[in-house]
Structure 1
Amino acid sequence: MSKLPDDPDALKAIIMRLQGERDDLHTTNLRLQVELDRLKKRYYGPRADRLETMTDLAQMLLSFAEALDQKPVHPEDAAGSPPEQSQQPQQPAQQQRHLEKSKGRRNLAKFENLPTTTFVHELSAEQRACPCCGGQRKEIGSEQSWQIEYHPGHFERLEHIRKKYACAACETEGDGPQIKTAAKPEAAIEKGLAGPGLLSFIVTSKFADYLPLYRLEDIFARQGFEIARGTQSIWCGDVADLVEPLYHLMAVRVRLSHVVATDDTIMPMLQQGKTANARMWVYLGDGDHPYNVFDFTLDRHRNGPTHFLKDYNQVLLADAYGGYNGVVAGNQMTRAGCWAHLRRKVIEAEKAAPEIARQTISMIASLYATEKQAAGMAEAERLKLREEQSRPQLAVLREKLLDWKQELLPRHPMAEAISYALSQWQPLSVFCSDGAVPIDNNASEREMKRIVLNRKNSLFVGNPRGGKTAAILASITSTCRRLDLDPHRYLTQLLVNLPTTAPNQLPAWLPDQWKLTAFAQPE
């Protein structure tokens, strides 16, 4: 052991250095713990972002409920109302609920809208004979019960016979028979075997229900006709080529929005050696332009959003990805931030500073409570409410964040979350100056989760053309979901009519415009 110096200043310097090393070690341990918790949550934890203290409280309530459920129930305690009240006649609404409960239809939405096939069951003449006197019993009424049946899909072979016609008189005169053949409907795929219904089912299954094509191959085989996954993939590309003009029109309409929300995720692309980390981006239009448009790029370079948003100059709602900075500055856009991202970062650093996390999440929850109150309001009313309630809360939160930042070491996990908040404060505050801007970017994040689900099932796209096909068809099915449309029904109608649709009539086939026509009430 080395001898300590006698000089007090030298001893102080050694103590200060050791304290600094201790603080660095403590901060490193906190960072490693936060990273470990993040990874454990990704693989084993709940998807929701909640403080551990709230999770512990929920577990306590669950345990209490389980214990309460195991206690014996005495008849005296089970009476929900005095005897004289229980004898009162039920109201019509109560009677209806009781009837549906007795029939086992409590959770069957739109039961009455299903087509009905009626079967009448009667007694034979022998069964009608009265066992007492031998006479024939008369019908006095009936009992009604219901079942729900399902008939799996099936294939049909459609044969098209095109009759040919010739002019006998012209042929006699030597002018030729003037042969003409009757036309058949235009096919979605030229000289293709697949009909519009089959094509729309494959596209809907893969891009709305996330079934990989090899599973569809097995499903079709069980139904009596096997279609190779390679053939299905080619058909998806052909459908994408057909609807691509509509896809570009949707993209143009999205760029007319006052607010465009965007996000991106990895879309693996097959290549020699290993898959490449290509990207899938989504751009959500506002309420007046209700389209979800996906864009496939080979990397995460800002060229992707720069190209898609080339002439857009209003509000871009996005996360803190630096690639958007040049796009926003170049187009003079307004950058809006996402409070859900900040909330997630604070929760990830909770163990490093529990009290700071609790206070921060509580104040963010107050902002969301105001948003819940503002739901359904007009933009002007929502903006007024935000000015009155949210903006003062933002000022208080910012002061607290500045104070906490001074108390924490620079590399402390919670200090990093606070630095993120302060560096993004201007984008995070945009929603308080524009009633049309959402408080978070959750809508586009939900679309990315669906892409991730498709990626998990299908693993990758085969090449850049496959990525473009996925972007086009995901845009159609995602927009249908946003508009509460059946994508199979819409795509079937689209594939029947699009081959003969003139370019100037294309806007009528946008999903929102088609919905207005298809569901218009007759006068």
Structure 2
Amino acid sequence: MLKQALLAVQWQAVLVFAGDDLAEEAGRGDTLGYSSKAPPLIISDALASNRPSRVDSLGSLCNNHGRRQFYDIYEQFPVEVEYVLMRYRQIWEFDDDTEKLSEAERLAYHQQHSLGIMEEIKGWCSEHLANETVEENSSLGKAMKYFPNHYQGLTSFCRLKGAKLDNNRMETKLKLVVRNRKNAMFHKIQAGADIGDVITSLIATAEEAGIYVFDYFNLIQ
């Protein structure tokens, strides 16, 4: 079990950072151990605070957030929203087809099958906004603006090797961090937060590897 856990830490580590410069810390090559390699690829939502400004990195946006802009207003605009959801459904089906492909093969597959659909959604949104068939400041108009405004990041999975269609896998890991935040409320000093990050990272990594966390901690203490 310990050997399995150590391998998981080496190859599928889940790292947690807390602090004022969260995005900067996550983007630091020396922190993650690849300062001599290419800039890290960071996937997030479109919040500016999630993008490092003082370190080199490659940005990618989670398409689940792009899809949610429309999904959340389905009851008000069922016809328009269904148009987008149907096309996103196709893209996720294509993504399922790439599960066993290499990163290079996956990129080529999405370029061939998914990029055209993304371009179609962008064109559809831009056309409605340009023709003023949708009120720009309505909830539908805001969803339509989101897509072309963040198109570069949303199509990273069609441009960058290793970029994912969505960040759903790590979104589930955030529940562990949120649970601690609700229980602890805050850390008194940064050193305490750093120690908490190490422990949380070990818990999340063991969980990701399918290892019982309690036994794992007893083995490594």
Q: TM-score, normalised by structure 2?
A: 0.82
Q: 2:70 aligned with 1:346, yes or no? A: yes
Unaligned runs of 5+ in 1: 1-245, 251-287, 496-523
Aligned ranges for residues 460-499 of structure 1 at < 5 Å?
Answer: 460-461=185-186, 463-464=188-189, 465-495=191-221
The equivalent position to 2:28 in structure 1, one of 310, 316, 322, is: 310
Alpha-carbon separation, structure 2, partners of 1:471 and 1:310: 16
Deviates more, 1:389-398 or 1:311-320: 311-320
Deviations 1:192-211 (A, max 9, x none): xxxxxxxxxxxxxxxxxxxx
Amino acid at match of 2:25: H
Amino acid at match of 1:304: L
Q: Is the 8 A contact 1:431 1:438 kept in 2?
A: yes
Alpha-carbon separation, structure 2, partners of 1:326 and 1:462: 23
DSSP-derived class of the 2:75 partner = helix
Alpha-carbon separation, structure 2, partners of 1:325 and 1:309: 9
The equivalent position to 2:168 in structure 1, one of 436, 442, 451, is: 442
Alpha-carbon separation, structure 1, partners of 2:154 and 2:112: 17
Deviations 1:402-447 (A, max 9, x none): 1122321221111111111111100111101234211001122111
Paired residues, number: 203
Amino acid at match of 1:352: Q
Q: Is the 8 A contact 2:115 2:158 kept in 1?
A: yes
Q: Is the 8 A contact 2:46 2:150 kept in 1?
A: yes
Q: 2:73 aligned with 1:355, yes or no? A: no
Q: CA RMSD in A?
A: 2.3
Tell me which of the two structures has the higher relative contact order, counting C-alpha pairs closer than 8 angstroms and 6 or more residues apart. 2
Post-superposition offset of 1:320: 0.7
Post-superposition offset of 1:462: 5.2
Partner of 1:336: 60
The equivalent position to 2:12 in structure 1, one of 290, 297, 305, is: 290
Q: 1:347 to 1:378 in 2, by over 3 A?
A: same
* Greater C-alpha radius of gyration: 1
Deviations 1:63-106 (A, max 9, x none): xxxxxxxxxxxxxxxxxxxxxxxxxxxxxxxxxxxxxxxxxxxx
Q: Is the 8 A contact 1:350 1:414 kept in 2?
A: no
Post-superposition offset of 1:325: 3.9
Greater helix content: 2
Alpha-carbon separation, structure 1, partners of 2:11 and 2:149: 31
Q: Is the 8 A contact 2:40 2:58 kept in 1?
A: yes
DSSP-derived class of the 1:316 partner = strand
Amino acid at match of 2:199: L
Question: Percent sequence identity over matched residues?
Answer: 17
Aligned ranges for residues 386-397 of structure 1 at < 5 Å?
Answer: 386-397=110-121
Q: Once superposed, which parts of structure 1, at least 4 consecutive aligned residues long, lie more than 4 Å away?
A: none
